[in-house]
Chain A
Amino acid sequence: MPKLTIDGMEIEVEAGTSVLQACEQLGIEVPRFCYHERLSVAANCRMCLVEMERSPKPIASCSMPCADGMVIRTNTEQAQRARKGVMELILINHPLDCPICDQGGECDLQDQAIAYGFDRGRYAEEKRSVPDKEFGPLINAEMTRCIHCTRCIRFCEEIAGVSVLGAVGRGTHTEVTTYIDSAISSELSGNLADVCPVGALTNKPYRFKARPWELRKTETIDVLDAVGSNIRVDARGGEVLRVLPRLNEDVNEEWISDKTRFACDGLKRQRLDRPYVRREGKLQPVSWSEALETIAVRLKGVAGRRIAGLAGDLVDAEAMVALKDLLHALGSPNLDCRQDGARYDCGVRAGYLFNTTISGIEQADAILLIGTNPRLEAPIINARIHKRYREGGLKIGLIGQQSQLNYPYEHLGGGVDPLNAVSAGKHAFADILKSSHHPMLVLGAGVLTRDDGAAIQAIAREVAVATGMVRPGWNGFNVLQLAAARVGGLDLGFLPQPGGLDTRGILEGAKAGDIEAIYLLGADEIDPSRFGAAFVIYQGHHGDRGAHRADVVLPGAAYTEKNGTYVNTEGRVQRGRMAVFPVGEAREDWKILRALSERLGVPLPYDTLGQVRDRLIAVNPLFAATGGVETAPWELFGQRGEASEEPFQPYVDNFYMTDPISRASLTMAKCIDAFVPSREGKTGTHG
């Protein structure tokens, strides 16, 4: 452990710590552009120069490892002069276009120029200018502003796993580019705007929209996949202008997927801003009172078992518990939060969770992916696997459809046969798993939607047991859920009650006329023709599939417009916060259900958010522990049965449109044009 002195303070650091990191531990600020905590060290901006005793010239602190007896000074005349020199050099070719630059106000170069810049330049020659690059619909490239820190190049290679950016040319002619002017095809490309310390790479849809100091910042949770990325929503007035990542080492580190970041323009389009009732075949705008009255009249005298409720993918736990209680009060046992029609064993929590946890992936040394494409289904989890892969010694096997995953894997086969072989120890990969210290498997949620989902869940459990994935302190059995609402719904038991029907049963019942009324709580992924002649109530925020078929539409709040609880695929309970008010007459979802219950004569026993949350905790105490992950006990789950030999298909084939918000987003539509070559008429989560 080297011991060194920085600015007169002694510090002992771990071997391999750089001088810059040691300075940070002491709380000393060192300016930097190219250094980034999560990327390799390039040491090419030279902004972090500090003075080192017995060194004839200043050293780049980011790349200098601490050594015993070093004496570092960060605030001397020499260090300051050196940094000023570097700053002047960087500014030689940097345009003075801060007033029209989107980075203005949150620019590292701007901030550091205040401390180390001169108030005028000595450079009279012509500045360098670089032709504009086309990096696709998400990232705006203004490469004249580039200071060649190479953070973006390193991000693409080391985090996103796609080597598309590079520095071509040399000297003053150096340009950061894809060389062949191609869009950056990564599901994480939006993070380039965050890693870029200047205004060279910026958020294209947000271009010229706002200045950072005009924005109201709300820390909340993303719901567009089941990762539960921690985000910050920046809004002005009632408009969400952009979404940024928030640091959470256990979930998303400091990255978010492009859908999380860029689908927010979908919050402004196709919105349901007032209640509607279908009259003479057409949806007519009505008042809240009329809409609730219409429901009350229609449901009057309908037996509870002829009513059903389905919850969608983006719904908060508060709304689900309210609907569950309402259906219970109406005597209906027919409810399901798995609108995809999945039929697997939800009785044991460990059977539907990502038990290893996302940060746990970093310990894994062998991974078996089953019927999943994590790159499209959860880019953040894929980035963790890629991070682990780069450390070396990770073996990855895949059963199911092959796809480009940014890391090499062994393809074991397409269907249940290789899975059985691994379970029986007859496949070579079984030996790899058995000889690993921390083996894990990831079962795609798409596989569970098959008719034989429960059987495959059981086989996967056998694989986990047979290869030693489950032991105290390590659980390698993982289900990669796709919907932000799913685990919350399962945890609070939004499932068929005794004698009740599940999603498939409800839809069959609707077709046969046994189900008279269906309450869709944000459920949009069901083919509307399957509701038969049933009376459909749709509560949600977008005029998507569900609303088009509905007889009564109740406008709810999108995830940025309500305080909601979500449980991610790991089982992590997280709270989203209201960033803007719901549009028009839309209301928070649990309040709508509370108001409706009053009209139906079965008032729900809660009037405040706090009371709803108390009810949540009463239903499942897990909801009390927000932020962390409670290890789910390992029990028997799944149903042994016949599994079909049909190859496993990943559930998401179009990353950019999987839910009502991203389907309404123009930016996502542009991404599909740019990145999805042939879609063959499929949209979002087909099936």
Chain B
Amino acid sequence: MSASASDGAVVAVHQPDSFAFSAEYAAAAEQIEGRYPPEKRASAVIPLLHLAQRQHANWLPKAAMDYVADRLGMARIRVYEVATFYTMFNKEPVGKHLIQVCTTTPCWLRGSDEVLGACKRRLGIGPGETTPDGQFTVVEVECAGACVNAPVVAIGDDYYEDLDGPAMVALLDQLARGESPTPGSQTGRRGSCPATGPTTLTNQPLPSAAADLATGADD
């Protein structure tokens, strides 16, 4: 596991004193809680922590974990255990844009070092660090599950794929200007179709026996 903003168990940063779901999040939480029988409410802990993180600038203060624990009738330590187990829960404040650079083998083979280097050059921060203006946090993550379009970076809820150094810098520039870059492949290919364009099924299908069969079947 790489060093990330989520590592480290002991809470050291400034922690808010209290936390509660806003009306909108409370409604969502109730909907999630409703999926489980009352004595199994604890099952809702991960989705609720996720909601809490979303509401609270993408990180989970201790107060939010306590709030979720009390809400679900769990011992607080049981919630700390869950929250610290998953690296996707941030136990410390992160920048407005959380940049998760995948450095697992396929992405690494396709140049994730260059992508990480671009972040370092453009933002002046290494993995696990946040820019002083609080805009960007860069972390290394293990396989993001989009190897076909490696190297890949997750920023917030979106994936940006087929990156290289300049493309990464361009993305960061756009984000810094407050724009919302288009997610997906940055080389313009659609989904995960071959980078050089379609390589198979390039001609029109022949009138097929299947079509005949289909008409025949109707008879």
A residues touching B (Cβ–Cβ < 8 Å)? 131, 157, 163-171, 173, 175, 177-181
Cβ-defined contact, B10 with A181, below 8 A: yes
Q: Is B80 an interface residue (CB 8 A)?
A: yes
User: Known contacts A173-B1, A180-B62; is A166 also within 8 Å of B7 by CB?
Assistant: no
4 nearest interchain CB pairs? A163-B75, A166-B77, A168-B84, A179-B80
Complex alpha-carbon distance, A168 and B76, angstroms: 12
User: Known contacts A171-B1, A173-B1; is A179 also within 8 Å of B9 by CB?
Assistant: yes
Q: List 15 A-B contacts (CB under 8 A).
A: A163-B75, A163-B78, A166-B81, A168-B9, A168-B80, A168-B81, A168-B84, A170-B85, A171-B1, A173-B1, A179-B9, A179-B10, A179-B11, A179-B80, A180-B11
Cβ-defined contact, B1 with A164, below 8 A: no
For B81, what are the chain A residues with a Cβ–Cβ distance below 8 Å? 166-168
**Besides A131-B10, A166-B80, A173-B7, 13 other A-B contacts (C-beta < 8 A):** A163-B76, A163-B77, A164-B75, A168-B81, A169-B9, A170-B84, A170-B85, A171-B1, A173-B9, A175-B9, A179-B11, A180-B11, A181-B10
For B85, what are the chain A residues with a Cβ–Cβ distance below 8 Å? 168-170
Q: Interface digits, B165-182 against A, CB 8 Å rule (1 contact, 0 not)?
A: 000000000000000000
Cβ-defined contact, B10 with A164, below 8 A: no
Cβ-defined contact, A169 with B77, below 8 A: no
Q: How far is the CB of B60 from chain A (nearest CB, A)?
A: 12
> Which of B1, B7, B77, B87 contacts A179 (CB under 8 A)?
B77
Question: What residue in chain B is nearest A167 (Cβ atoms)?
Answer: B81
Complex alpha-carbon distance, A168 and B78, angstroms: 9
Q: Interface digits, B87-106 against A, CB 8 Å rule (1 contact, 0 not)?
A: 10000000000000000000
Cβ-defined contact, B78 with A177, below 8 A: no
For A166, what are the chain B residues with a Cβ–Cβ distance below 8 Å? 77-78, 80-81
Cβ-defined contact, B84 with A164, below 8 A: no
> Of residues A164, A170, A171, A181, which shows the largest number of chain B Cβ atoms within 10 Å of its Cβ?
A170
Interface residues of B in 13-33 (CB under 8 A from A): none
For A168, what are the chain B residues with a Cβ–Cβ distance below 8 Å? 9, 80-81, 84-85
How many B residues touch A, CB cutoff 8 Å? 15
Q: How far is the CB of B64 from chain A (nearest CB, A)?
A: 14
Cβ-defined contact, B77 with A178, below 8 A: yes
Question: What residue in chain A is nearest B74 (Cβ atoms)?
Answer: A163
Q: How far is the CB of B78 from chain A (nearest CB, A)?
A: 6
Question: What residue in chain B is nearest A133 (Cβ atoms)?
Answer: B10
Question: What residue in chain B is nearest A157 (Cβ atoms)?
Answer: B75
User: Known contacts A175-B9, A178-B77; is A169 also within 8 Å of B62 by CB?
Assistant: no
Complex alpha-carbon distance, A175 and B81, angstroms: 10
Complex alpha-carbon distance, A120 and B18, angstroms: 51
Question: What residue in chain A is nearest B69 (Cβ atoms)?
Answer: A163
Q: How far is the CB of A181 from chain B (nearest CB, A)?
A: 7
Complex alpha-carbon distance, A361 and B78, angstroms: 29
Q: How far is the CB of B153 from chain A (nearest CB, A)?
A: 23
> Of residues B7, B10, B77, B84, which shows the largest number of chain A Cβ atoms within 10 Å of its Cβ?
B77
Interface residues of B in 86-138 (CB under 8 A from A): 87
Complex alpha-carbon distance, A165 and B9, angstroms: 13
Complex alpha-carbon distance, A181 and B80, angstroms: 13
Question: What residue in chain B is nearest A156 (Cβ atoms)?
Answer: B77
Complex alpha-carbon distance, A164 and B81, angstroms: 11
For B1, what are the chain A residues with a Cβ–Cβ distance below 8 Å? 170-171, 173
For B62, what are the chain A residues with a Cβ–Cβ distance below 8 Å? 180
For A169, what are the chain B residues with a Cβ–Cβ distance below 8 Å? 7, 9, 84-85
Question: What residue in chain B is nearest A168 (Cβ atoms)?
Answer: B84
Complex alpha-carbon distance, A652 and B121, angstroms: 66
Complex alpha-carbon distance, A166 and B78, angstroms: 7
For B76, what are the chain A residues with a Cβ–Cβ distance below 8 Å? 163
User: Known contacts A169-B85, A170-B84, A173-B1; is A164 also within 8 Å of B9 by CB?
Assistant: no
Complex alpha-carbon distance, A216 and B209, angstroms: 95
Question: What residue in chain B is nearest A175 (Cβ atoms)?
Answer: B9
Q: How far is the CB of B106 from chain A (nearest CB, A)?
A: 22
For B77, what are the chain A residues with a Cβ–Cβ distance below 8 Å? 163-166, 178-179
For A180, what are the chain B residues with a Cβ–Cβ distance below 8 Å? 11, 62
For A179, what are the chain B residues with a Cβ–Cβ distance below 8 Å? 9-11, 77, 80, 84
Complex alpha-carbon distance, A181 and B11, angstroms: 10
Q: How far is the CB of B52 from chain A (nearest CB, A)?
A: 16
Question: What residue in chain B is nearest A163 (Cβ atoms)?
Answer: B75
Complex alpha-carbon distance, A167 and B1, angstroms: 18
Q: How far is the CB of B3 from chain A (nearest CB, A)?
A: 10
For A167, what are the chain B residues with a Cβ–Cβ distance below 8 Å? 81
Q: How far is the CB of A28 from chain B (nearest CB, A)?
A: 35
For A178, what are the chain B residues with a Cβ–Cβ distance below 8 Å? 77
Q: How far is the CB of A588 from chain B (nearest CB, A)?
A: 48
For A175, what are the chain B residues with a Cβ–Cβ distance below 8 Å? 9
Complex alpha-carbon distance, A168 and B35, angstroms: 27
Complex alpha-carbon distance, A173 and B84, angstroms: 10
Complex alpha-carbon distance, A534 and B62, angstroms: 61
Complex alpha-carbon distance, A171 and B11, angstroms: 19
Question: What residue in chain B is nearest A177 (Cβ atoms)?
Answer: B9
Interface residues of B in 36-80 (CB under 8 A from A): 62, 75-78, 80
Question: What residue in chain A is nearest B7 (Cβ atoms)?
Answer: A173
Q: How far is the CB of B53 from chain A (nearest CB, A)?
A: 17
Complex alpha-carbon distance, A637 and B85, angstroms: 59
For A164, what are the chain B residues with a Cβ–Cβ distance below 8 Å? 75, 77
Complex alpha-carbon distance, A282 and B158, angstroms: 85
Question: What residue in chain A is nearest B65 (Cβ atoms)?
Answer: A179
> Of residues A163, A166, A178, which shows the largest number of chain B Cβ atoms within 10 Å of its Cβ?
A166
Complex alpha-carbon distance, A131 and B8, angstroms: 11
For B75, what are the chain A residues with a Cβ–Cβ distance below 8 Å? 157, 163-164
Question: What residue in chain A is nearest B83 (Cβ atoms)?
Answer: A168
Question: What residue in chain A is nearest B66 (Cβ atoms)?
Answer: A180
Interface residues of B in 172-206 (CB under 8 A from A): none
Complex alpha-carbon distance, A178 and B62, angstroms: 13
Q: How far is the CB of B69 from chain A (nearest CB, A)?
A: 10
Question: What residue in chain B is nearest A130 (Cβ atoms)?
Answer: B9
Complex alpha-carbon distance, A114 and B78, angstroms: 36
Complex alpha-carbon distance, A168 and B10, angstroms: 10
Complex alpha-carbon distance, A180 and B87, angstroms: 19
Complex alpha-carbon distance, A165 and B84, angstroms: 14
Q: How far is the CB of B83 from chain A (nearest CB, A)?
A: 8
Question: What residue in chain A is nearest B1 (Cβ atoms)?
Answer: A171
> Of residues B75, B78, B81, which shows the largest number of chain A Cβ atoms within 10 Å of its Cβ?
B81
Complex alpha-carbon distance, A568 and B9, angstroms: 45
Q: How far is the CB of B176 from chain A (nearest CB, A)?
A: 33
Question: What residue in chain B is nearest A165 (Cβ atoms)?
Answer: B77
Complex alpha-carbon distance, A168 and B85, angstroms: 6
> Of residues A157, A165, A180, A181, which shows the largest number of chain B Cβ atoms within 10 Å of its Cβ?
A180
Complex alpha-carbon distance, A179 and B9, angstroms: 7
Complex alpha-carbon distance, A164 and B76, angstroms: 8
For A181, what are the chain B residues with a Cβ–Cβ distance below 8 Å? 10
Complex alpha-carbon distance, A270 and B77, angstroms: 41
Q: How far is the CB of A144 from chain B (nearest CB, A)?
A: 14
For B84, what are the chain A residues with a Cβ–Cβ distance below 8 Å? 168-170, 179
Complex alpha-carbon distance, A175 and B84, angstroms: 10
Complex alpha-carbon distance, A174 and B77, angstroms: 14
For B7, what are the chain A residues with a Cβ–Cβ distance below 8 Å? 169, 173
Q: How far is the CB of A499 from chain B (nearest CB, A)?
A: 59
Complex alpha-carbon distance, A178 and B1, angstroms: 23
Q: How far is the CB of A604 from chain B (nearest CB, A)?
A: 57
For A131, what are the chain B residues with a Cβ–Cβ distance below 8 Å? 10
Question: What residue in chain A is nearest B86 (Cβ atoms)?
Answer: A170
Complex alpha-carbon distance, A179 and B81, angstroms: 9
> Of residues B9, B11, B62, B85, which shows the largest number of chain A Cβ atoms within 10 Å of its Cβ?
B9
For A157, what are the chain B residues with a Cβ–Cβ distance below 8 Å? 75
Complex alpha-carbon distance, A177 and B10, angstroms: 9
Q: How far is the CB of B68 from chain A (nearest CB, A)?
A: 14
